[in-house]
Amino acid sequence: MEVSYILESVIGKAYENQPKRDDDFIGKDGLLYCGKCRTRKQSILSLPDNPSKTYKVPVMCKCREEEYRREQEEMRKREEMERVARLKGNSLMDEKFRSTTFDTFEVIKENAKLYKMCLRYAEHFDEMMEKNQGLLLYGPVGTGKSFAAACIANYLLDRMVPVVMTSFVKILQSVQFFSGEDEEQKVINRMNEAKLLIIDDLGAERNTEFALEKVYNIIDSRYRARKPLILTTNLSLMQMQETADIRYSRIYDRIFEMCYPVEFNGPSWRKEEAAKRYDEMTKFLEGEA
Domain harbouring 235, CATH code: 3.40.50.300
Write down the number of H helices and E strands in the chain: 11, 9
Same domain as 37, residue 145: no
Same domain as 110, residue 47: no
Amino acid at 268: S
Is 138 domain-assigned? yes
Question: What pLDDT sits at residue 268?
Answer: 56
Is 36 domain-assigned? yes
Bridge partners, 57 (sequence order): 43
What Rg do the C-alpha atoms of the chain give, in angstroms? Answer: 30
Give the strand pairing for 50-58 and 42-47.
Answer: antiparallel
Task: Indicate the pTM of the whole model.
Answer: 0.70
Same domain as 138, residue 14: no
Same domain as 251, residue 111: yes
Check: CB of residue 132 under 8 Å from CB of residue 227: yes
How many domains would you assign to the chain?
2
Distances (CA, A) of 247 to 96, 176, 218: 33, 19, 14
Same domain as 164, residue 104: yes
Dist. CA 128–CA 196, nearest whole Å: 10
Check: CB of residue 196 under 8 Å from CB of residue 227: yes
Is 33 domain-assigned? yes
Dist. CA 129–CA 147, nearest whole Å: 21
Check: CB of residue 196 under 8 Å from CB of residue 153: yes
Check: CB of residue 54 under 8 Å from CB of residue 31: no
Same domain as 96, residue 54: no
Same domain as 214, residue 99: yes
Phi-psi region of 227 (alpha: psi -120 to 50; beta: other; left: phi over 0): beta
pLDDT along the chain (289 residues), means of 10: 66 79 92 93 81 84 93 87 77 86 89 94 96 95 92 93 89 70 78 92 80 89 94 93 89 94 76 64 69
Question: What pLDDT sits at residue 273?
Answer: 60
Question: What pLDDT sits at residue 177?
Answer: 63
Same domain as 127, residue 264: yes
Dist. CA 210–CA 193, nearest whole Å: 24
Question: What pLDDT sits at residue 278?
Answer: 63
Is 258 domain-assigned? yes
Question: What pLDDT sits at residue 16?
Answer: 75
For 164, residues 6+ apart whose C-beta sits below 8 A from its C-beta are 90, 91, 92, 190, 191, 194, 196, 197, 198
Containing domain of residue 46, as a range? 1-64
**Helix axis angle, 168-175 to 181-193, nearest 10°:** 150
Same domain as 44, residue 98: no
Check: CB of residue 93 under 8 Å from CB of residue 150: yes
Question: What pLDDT sits at residue 2?
Answer: 63
Question: What pLDDT sits at residue 275?
Answer: 61
Is 283 domain-assigned? no
Question: What pLDDT sits at residue 204?
Answer: 77
For 280, residues 6+ apart whose C-beta sits below 8 A from its C-beta are 289
Is 278 domain-assigned? no
Is 234 domain-assigned? yes
Same domain as 112, residue 46: no
Distances (CA, A) of 231 to 169, 235, 253: 13, 11, 14
Same domain as 251, residue 115: yes
Dist. CA 278–CA 237, nearest whole Å: 33
Is 233 domain-assigned? yes
Dist. CA 81–CA 100, nearest whole Å: 17
Same domain as 205, residue 157: yes
